[in-house]
Amino acid sequence: MPKQVINVASDDYLSAIYRLHHDEGENVIAVRLADRLGVTPPSVAGMLKRLQRDNLVSIDRRKIIELTPEGLRRAEEMVRRHRLAECLLTRVLKVPWWRAYEEAHLLEHGISDITEPHLIETLNNPLRSPFGYPIPGLANAGDLSMTTLADVPEGNTVEIERVFEEDELLLQFFDTEGIRPGAVAQLTSSEPYRGTVTIDIDAREILIGTQVARRVWVCDYGVSTKKT
């Protein structure tokens, strides 16, 4: 049986650890990993023992989980293939943008060392996924903003860098409202006690919850226009 099929479970864990730490800046602990993967804490504990045994993760005294060099290599390989699959689905097969994450998860384990370089060539060496994430091995994966829409002061204009991709219903909302990588948004109102922020995209006001705003990462675009 091909290696990429045998290691589906462990590769999913490694990818989740990579996404939580690298893409979202979170300290990875077992309960957070269980929540992300939708599994029970005992299942996570069992898999972590296996990953430690195989020298793919380490766990420090604070119970923080980190990828070893080999674990990072494996995680980057799977995340790269997943994001290439997203590009294939949206660019070539014209699958709706908001469906691409779930569909790519079905494809990523079937991309082999032989297929991958041909896929990269066919896609003309993409640097980022449709959701704005750098593709490991093809782009500089270290230059990610950790600023979200929830962090932006009123009046500031920003460019959306990436959006959380692992919630299909949330992606449908983003798609409907035009909240996509590359879109320019002005934060017109922030009401933390109500738990809402209001943004303006293409002269349309969009009211979103603070929790949703924390799922949209942005980079600086312009100076504040708020009156003082």
CB 168, CB 86: distance < 8 Å: no
Please, which residues have CB within 8 angstroms of residue 180's CB and are 6 or more apart in sequence? 97, 132, 160, 163, 174
Non-local (6+) Cβ contacts of 104 within 8 A are 82, 83, 85, 86, 89
**Is residue 109 domain-resident?**
no
**201 lies in some domain:** yes
Tokens for 94? Answer: 């014209």
Would 129 be classed as within a structural domain? no
The contacts found for 121-125 with CB under 8 angstroms, 24 or more apart, are 122/88, 122/92, 123/84, 123/87, 123/88, 123/91, 123/92
CATH number of the domain within which 28 lies: 1.10.10.10
Distance CA 73, CA 68 (A): 8
Last residue of a domain, one of 35, 70, 105: 70
Of 36, 70, 104, which one is at a domain's C-terminal end?
Answer: 70
In-domain check, residue 23: yes
Which two three-digit tokens encode residue 157?
Answer: 């204009």
> How many domains does the chain contain in total?
2
Torsions phi, psi for 176 (to 5 deg): -60, -40
189 within domain boundaries:
yes
Domain encompassing residue 211: 149-220
Place of tokens 């690298």: 22
Query: What are the helix (H) ranges across the chain?
Result: 3-6, 8-18, 30-37, 41-53, 69-87, 100-107, 115-122, 168-177, 210-213
Domain holding 167: CATH number?
2.30.30.90
Residue carrying structure tokens 């269980």: 34
Inside any domain, residue 132: no
Closest Cα partner for 34 from 13, 6, 63?
A: 13
- The answer as to whether 84 is a domain residue is no
Please report, in tens digits, the pLDDT of each residue of the chain (228 residues total). 455 455 788 999 999 999 999 999 999 999 999 999 999 999 999 999 999 999 999 999 999 999 999 999 999 999 999 999 999 999 999 999 999 999 999 999 999 999 999 999 999 999 999 999 999 999 876 678 999 999 999 999 999 999 999 999 999 999 999 999 999 999 999 998 899 999 999 999 999 999 999 999 999 765 444 433
